[in-house]
């Protein structure tokens, strides 16, 4: 298949591109190097990929989208590009809506103009918001987002669902549950905690540590994403991609300390608005329709992450 991957230079995008190339797909990337974090981090990711795959540009640039989509006959677009993170979205809600909703729909419109009929859209477990039913299932009612980021991802899903209905475009929405692993964004919890413990700095722990997340190793996420790309589904169809195993925040910190061989120093801080108490992926649909089967347990995944982290320090 010939695929366009937006957000190619990011954490998941760079891993996914490697996997797709290894499976014989042809890949073009789009990346705007947003200043959310250091450009050099993404350039290091790109250095691991063959040269010449990437077009630098923004999904809000309609003329650029037309040039890229008009240059080749793409079979599908894998849309990973987005502003990410719950906490940063609290300070820039309009910007999150512009990029994650308007940018997504500009891309969808350009796809329609160039007769690209399939999008695989990176959504988020954040769309489940204040849902108290666990595990979360794709058919749960999810109209109670608790952060601008969550609202932007849910709005993106709804806009694409309407677009699929009116145009016949196929949209697969992948609801990723807290992805971690080598190349993880430096602002994410596992990366921040590892950095603090390794340096002997205090770990700033929100609340009492009782919140839990379905931390999912990147290789498992890639398995599900590739399966969704290679399996064509008509209309709009969402899938959970998670590990279906909850880990408490305080247990996560202890496990990272064990992987590093160090004792964490904990410094409690207040909770942040926009966080939810628990996430857990229901995988019945993903298992049945995508053959999805997450394999990497949290202790093994953290050990792999720590080895990667220390390799970058040399």
Query: Annotated catalytic sites, by residue?
Result: 149
Question: CA-to-CA distance for 146 and 220, rounded, in angstroms?
Answer: 27
Which positions ≥6 away from 275 have C-beta within 8 Å? 86, 146, 147, 206, 211
Which positions ≥6 away from 202 have C-beta within 8 Å? 196, 265, 266, 267
- Burial of 47 (C-beta count, 10 Å sphere; 0-12/13-18/19+): exposed
CB 61 within 8 A of CB 30: no
Q: Give the three-class secondary structure for 77.
A: strand
Which positions ≥6 away from 83 have C-beta within 8 Å? 34, 36, 89, 92, 95, 96, 99, 100, 149, 152
Q: Give the three-class secondary structure for 82.
A: coil
């Amino acid at each position: 298949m010939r695929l366009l991957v937006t957000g190619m230079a990011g954490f998941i995008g760079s891993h996914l591109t490697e996997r797709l190339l290894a499976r014989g797909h042809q890949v073009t990337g789009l990346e705007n190097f947003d200043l959310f974090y250091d450009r050099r981090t993404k350039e290091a990711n790109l250095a691991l990929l063959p040269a010449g795959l990437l077009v630098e540009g923004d999904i809000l640039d309609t003329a650029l989208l037309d040039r890229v989509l008009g240059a080749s006959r793409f079979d599908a677009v894998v849309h990973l590009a987005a502003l990410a993170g719950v906490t940063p979205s609290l300070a820039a809600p309009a910007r999150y809506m512009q990029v994650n909703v308007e940018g997504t729909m500009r891309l969808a419109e350009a796809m329609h103009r160039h007769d690209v009929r399939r999008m695989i859209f990176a959504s988020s477990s954040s769309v489940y918001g204040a849902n108290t039913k666990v595990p979360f299932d794709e058919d749960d009612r999810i109209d109670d987002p608790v952060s601008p980021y969550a609202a932007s991802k849910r709005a993106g899903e709804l806009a694409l669902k309407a677009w699929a209905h009116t145009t016949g475009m196929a949209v697969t929405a992948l609801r990723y549950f807290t992805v971690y692993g080598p190349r993880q964004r430096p602002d994410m919890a596992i990366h921040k905690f590892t950095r603090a413990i390794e340096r002997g700095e205090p770990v700033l722990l929100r609340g009492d540590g009782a919140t839990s997340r379905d931390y999912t190793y990147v290789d498992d996420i890639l398995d599900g994403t590739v399966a969704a790309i290679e399996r064509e589904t008509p209309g709009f169809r969402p899938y959970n991609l998670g590990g279906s195993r909850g880990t408490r925040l305080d247990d996560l910190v202890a496990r990272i300390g064990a992987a590093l061989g160090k004792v964490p120093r904990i410094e409690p801080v207040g909770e942040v608005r926009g966080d939810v108490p628990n996430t857990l992926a229901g995988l019945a649909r993903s298992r049945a329709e995508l053959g999805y089967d997450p394999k990497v347990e949290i202790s093994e995944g953290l050990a792999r992450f720590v080895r990667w982290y220390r390799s970058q320090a040399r």
